[in-house]
């Protein structure tokens, strides 16, 4: 393509090698830009036609902006001439609006009612009526069939407010070091360091043996005989010694345990405890009941009622920490063969060591149930066992023979026949829970009964280990830090009340 006339001769050779704009119209040639000696550059930008330079638009004609619609008459011109500038609009559509409402003649389907109209209408109403009646009946019978313990049937047996200290007419203090059948790691004492009343509250307070008895070596060569020991077996439960070679240690903690045995017991009635549970790893608070006379034999043949049990570990403990409480019934024909019926309640944003709560047992021949702050969380309907022509023995589904591992001291046991001990002793349908029970309150430390499961948390011992207590004692520096002050680590009882079912 030849160079455009109007460019300088010095730029002509360069412009010959460039692609020219597709515009060589007379408009551009006549413009001032054509006579100026400006460099011409190629561009890769693309623009809409309306924004391109006139010389770059793809038309050889002169571009003009779009004309706006206007009425010439507004500018003083002849109105008749303005019709040429107005755009023609489409005629309006025919209206679909009815000119008048429809009459019955226009709706022939209304002249006669459709078949089964009345039937479907009344059938719907009838079903609604049946639903309301069923809901009302469900609410009524659900309310009237709930077993309620009438307060007028209760006779007060004990009302302990701790205003004058620990009432000796109600309580016994247990002093021993035998593990209480659970392999517990504490001794119990009547010392004012472990059992005292403050602000009309009973404190069961655990202490460290190394602090209470600094002159006793709990790991090797130490000996401890409990003054005023109440255990029947003085050799096994009243003394403790440590031997490094044998792995024997003196219990590393001292606590307290009280009961109402021989003083206050009930056979059916109500028990109400207001208490604040302790805080600290491996603390085991419990308020529970055992039979006064063991009518059907030693534990568990005569049963056990646990009003409240808990663990002092924090909420992160996966074995249910101090934000859980549990109640249970325990019974069975052998120590190696027993049944546990239990229920629990938990707190989502708090724990039971942060405030006082009321724990209640209601016990009649028809039912046994537990409450926390008037909220039912565990209940066994004993009368339903009677209606099903069964009892606690049938509920246990025990085998005909079993191993009695308590028969000797080796732990091997022997095979024994399993008999219905309650029927043989003319027990009631709710046996063994048909006899007087007394109350126990204690704060244990650790143990080998399985209450603290192996491998859960930072547990330093195994239940079946021969050196379980020693392993626990060696970990004292860690668990003792979690116990806190006196108010935190103590089981605190504010009141204890017992009612019997009046005859």
Per the residue annotation, which of 160, 174, 184, 304 is the catalytic one?
304
Decide if pLDDT at 1 tops 70: no
Residues, the chain, total?
503
| Residue 83, φ and ψ in degrees, nearest 5 | -65, -20
The residue with greater pLDDT, 428 or 303, is 303
The verdict on 170 and 259 lying in the same domain is yes
User: Could you confirm whether 211 is annotated as catalytic?
Assistant: no
Residue 65 lies in a domain: no
pLDDT tier, 408 (very low <50, low <70, confident <90, very high otherwise): very low
Cα→Cα distances 346→286, 341, 349, Å: 16, 17, 9
Burial of 410 (0-12, 13-18, 19+ CB in 10 A): exposed
pLDDT tier, 503 (very low <50, low <70, confident <90, very high otherwise): confident
User: Could you confirm whether 14 is annotated as catalytic?
Assistant: no
Decide if pLDDT at 340 tops 80: yes
Q: How many domains does the chain have?
A: 2
The residue with greater pLDDT, 88 or 189, is 189
Report d(CA 319, CA 311) in Å as an integer: 9
The verdict on 159 and 144 lying in the same domain is no
> Looking at 41-50, 134-143, 146-155, which range is the least confident one?
41-50
Decide if pLDDT at 27 tops 50: no
The verdict on 144 and 163 lying in the same domain is no
pLDDT tier, 384 (very low <50, low <70, confident <90, very high otherwise): low
The verdict on 350 and 484 lying in the same domain is yes
For residue 129, how many C-alpha atoms fall within 13 Å in the half-sphere facing its CB? 6
Domain with 139 in it: 119-148
Residue 236 lies in a domain: yes
Strands 367-372 and 375-381, bridge-based pairing? antiparallel
Express each pLDDT in 357-382 by its tens digit: 999 999 998 888 888 997 766 655 66
Among 246, 158, 207, CA closest to 439: 158
The verdict on 371 and 355 lying in the same domain is yes
The verdict on 210 and 135 lying in the same domain is no
The verdict on 125 and 208 lying in the same domain is no
The verdict on 390 and 446 lying in the same domain is yes
Residue 17 lies in a domain: no
The verdict on 191 and 270 lying in the same domain is yes
Per the residue annotation, which of 160, 174, 184, 309 is the catalytic one?
309
The verdict on 126 and 211 lying in the same domain is no
Q: Note the Cα 276 to chain centre separation in Å.
A: 20
The residue with greater pLDDT, 262 or 37, is 262
Express each pLDDT in 284-332 by its tens digit: 999 999 999 999 999 999 999 999 999 999 999 999 999 999 999 999 9
Among candidate residues 104, 127, 148, the one where a domain is terminated: 148
Express each pLDDT in 453-487 by its tens digit: 999 999 999 999 999 999 999 999 999 999 999 99
Residue 390 lies in a domain: yes
Mean pLDDT of the chain: 83
Written as six digits, the tokens of 108 are 């022939």
The verdict on 228 and 333 lying in the same domain is yes
Q: Interior CA angle at 71 toward 66 and 73, to 5°?
A: 145
Q: What DSSP character marks residue 6?
A: T
- Locate tokens 């805080």: which residue? 279
Strands 253-255 and 186-188, bridge-based pairing? parallel
CATH of residue 227:
2.60.120.200
């Amino acid at each position: 393509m030849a160079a455009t006339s109007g460019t300088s001769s010095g730029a002509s050779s360069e412009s010959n090698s460039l692609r020219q704009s597709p515009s060589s119209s007379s408009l551009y040639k006549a413009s001032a830009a054509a006579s100026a000696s400006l460099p011409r550059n190629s561009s890769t930008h693309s623009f809409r036609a309306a924004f391109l330079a006139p010389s770059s638009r793809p038309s050889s004609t002169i571009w003009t902006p779009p004309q706006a619609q206007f009425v010439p008459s507004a500018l003083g011109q002849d109105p008749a001439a303005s019709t040429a500038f107005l755009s023609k609009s489409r005629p309006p559509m025919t209206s679909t609006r009815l000119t008048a409402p429809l009459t019955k003649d226009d709706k022939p389907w209304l002249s006669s009612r459709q078949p089964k109209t009345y039937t479907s209408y009344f059938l719907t109403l009838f079903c609604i009526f049946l639903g309301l009646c069923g809901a009302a009946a469900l609410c009524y019978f659900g309310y009237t069939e709930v077993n309620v313990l009438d307060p007028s049937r209760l006779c007060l047996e004990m009302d302990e407010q701790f205003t004058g200290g620990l009432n000796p007419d109600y309580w016994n203090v247990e002093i021993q070091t035998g593990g209480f059948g659970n392999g517990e790691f504490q001794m119990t004492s009547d010392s004012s360091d472990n059992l005292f009343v403050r602000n009309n509250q009973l404190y069961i307070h655990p202490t460290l043996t190394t602090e209470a008895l600094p002159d006793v070596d709990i790991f090797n060569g130490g000996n401890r005989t409990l003054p005023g020991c109440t255990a029947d077996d003085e050799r096994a439960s009243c003394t403790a010694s440590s031997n490094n070679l044998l792995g024997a240690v003196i219990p590393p903690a001292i606590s307290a345990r009280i009961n109402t045995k021989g003083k206050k017991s009930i056979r059916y009635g109500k028990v109400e405890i207001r208490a604040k549970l302790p805080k600290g790893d491996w603390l085991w608070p419990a308020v529970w009941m055992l039979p006064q006379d063991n009518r059907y034999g030693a534990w568990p043949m005569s049963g056990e009622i646990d009003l409240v049990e808990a663990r002092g570990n924090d909420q992160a403990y996966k074995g249910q920490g101090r934000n859980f409480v549990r109640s249970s019934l325990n019974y069975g024909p052998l120590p190696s063969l027993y049944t546990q019926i239990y229920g629990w309640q938990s707190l989502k944003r708090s724990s039971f060591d942060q405030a006082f709560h009321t724990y209640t047992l209601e016990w009649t021949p028809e039912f046994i149930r537990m409450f926390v702050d008037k909220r039912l969380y565990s209940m066994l309907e004993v009368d339903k066992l009677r209606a099903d022509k069964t009892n606690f023995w049938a509920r246990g589904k025990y085998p005909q023979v079993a191993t009695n591992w308590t028969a000797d001291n080796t732990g091997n046991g022997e095979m024994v026949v399993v008999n219905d001990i309650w029927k043989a002793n003319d027990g009631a349908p709710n046996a063994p829970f048909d006899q007087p029970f007394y109350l126990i309150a204690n704060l244990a430390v650790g143990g080998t009964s399985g209450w603290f499961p192996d491998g859960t948390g930072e547990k330093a011992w195994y239940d079946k280990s021969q050196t379980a207590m020693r392993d626990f004692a060696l970990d004292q520096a860690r668990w003792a830090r979690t116990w806190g002050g006196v108010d935190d680590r103590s089981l605190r009882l504010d009141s204890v009340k017992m009612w019997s079912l009046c005859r």
